[in-house]
Amino acid sequence: MQLLKCENIHMNYDSTKAVDGVSFTVDEGDFLCIVGENGAGKSTLLKGILGLQKISEGSVDFNGIKKSEIGYLPQKTQVQKDFPAGVKEVVLSGRLGGKRKLFYTAEDRRIAQENMDIMKINSIKNKSFNELSGGQQQRVLLARALCATDRLLLLDEPTTGLDPFVTEDMYKLISHLNKEHGVTIIMVTHDVKSAIQYANKILCMEHDGDFFGTTEEYLKTAAAKRILGGDSHA
Ligand code: ADP
């Protein structure tokens, strides 16, 4: 089933063109990686899909999924790293869904606990968020995003700043969510080698034109061959 269809999306910052006519679709169960050079508009596109930033032209159509059922992990900011709250609180806050709540329900707490189990962060659940390592913080933020949804996750460079081992762990965890829990994933990454390992579809945004298709089709493109060299037939 098709979950999302984006057609000919254009986005600007004042007079700067940030996204220039991007089209792609996402089916339930897909793992789509958005790759491409810096400044190609990947983060801006995610914000456009979420309605956090205005689209000047084109359309974003969700099919059978509400905006409130989308989990979003934005690019890491200093504010996030220094978030002065406990791990449990951070995960639970994913149940707010933009609403103000005076208290969390038993169901909210059950879902938060379930996601802390999936992310294997039970042993740190009573710690303060800002005393965790970068990798632990990302796990907590993923658990938080999962509290909003078990259907569609939008992840913006979730491994930035993590060391190679923790990065691989993170990708495996995201892949596990996709394969074992059926969560559809849209992930921005600059790491093309990992993208082709885990994603079944690739959107490659380049200043001189985009590619959208299966990972196998992407491997045959000149852009993939340029980046991956001899590995592109792997
Ligand atoms: P990517 O995620 O692919 O690196 P971005 O979506 O961050 O690209 O940026 C796309 C373009 O929009 C770039 O030219 C960038 O300089 C510009 N841009 C991004 N954020 C802003 C902003 N807040 N204000 C003005 N221009 C921006």
Residue 69: what pLDDT?
84
Ligand 1 centroid from CA 205, angstroms: 13
Residue 61: what pLDDT?
94
- Give the DSSP letter string of the chain: -EEEEEEEEEEEETTEEEEEEEEEEEETT-EEEEEESTTSSHHHHHHHHHTSS--SEEEEEESS--GGGEEEEPPP-HHHHT--SBHHHHHHGGGSTT---SS--HHHHHHHHHHHHHTT-GGGTTSBGGGS-HHHHHHHHHHHHHHH-SSEEEEESTTTT--HHHHHHHHHHHHHHHHHH--EEEEE-S-HHHHHHH-SEEEEEETTEEEEEEHHHHHTSHHHHHHHGGGGG-
Ligand 1 centroid from CA 50, angstroms: 16
Does residue 135's CB lie within 6 angstroms of at least one atom of ligand 1? no
Ligand 1 atom closest to the Cα of residue 40 is 3
Residue 232: what pLDDT?
46
Instruction: Find the mean pLDDT for residues 96-107.
Output: 81
Ligand 1 centroid from CA 19, angstroms: 9
Does residue 41's CB lie within 6 angstroms of at least one atom of ligand 1? yes
Mean of pLDDT over the chain: 90
Instruction: Find the mean pLDDT for residues 105-110.
Output: 94
- Which of 16, 47, 55, 157 has most ligand 1 atoms within 8 Å of CB, for mutation? 16
Ligand 1 atom closest to the Cα of residue 205 is 3
The residue whose CA is least distant from atom 5 of ligand 1 is: 41
Ligand 1 centroid from CA 173, angstroms: 28
Distance CA 133, CA 8 (A): 40
Residue 74: what pLDDT?
87
pLDDT tens sequence across 195-217 = 999 999 999 998 888 999 999 99
pLDDT tens sequence across 72-93 = 888 876 556 667 789 999 999 8
Distance CA 103, CA 129 (A): 21
Does residue 14's CB lie within 6 angstroms of at least one atom of ligand 1? no
Ligand 1 atom closest to the Cα of residue 44 is 6
pLDDT tens sequence across 168-194 = 999 999 999 999 999 999 999 999 999
Instruction: Find the mean pLDDT for residues 132-153.
Output: 91
| Percent of the chain topping pLDDT 90 | 70
Distance CA 204, CA 46 (A): 14
The residue whose CA is least distant from atom 25 of ligand 1 is: 13
Grade residue 9 by pLDDT with cuts at 50, 70 and 90.
very high
pLDDT greater than 50 at residue 146: yes
Ligand 1 centroid from CA 158, angstroms: 18
* β-pair type (70-73, 209-214): unpaired
Ligand 1 centroid from CA 17, angstroms: 9
Residue 197: what pLDDT?
95
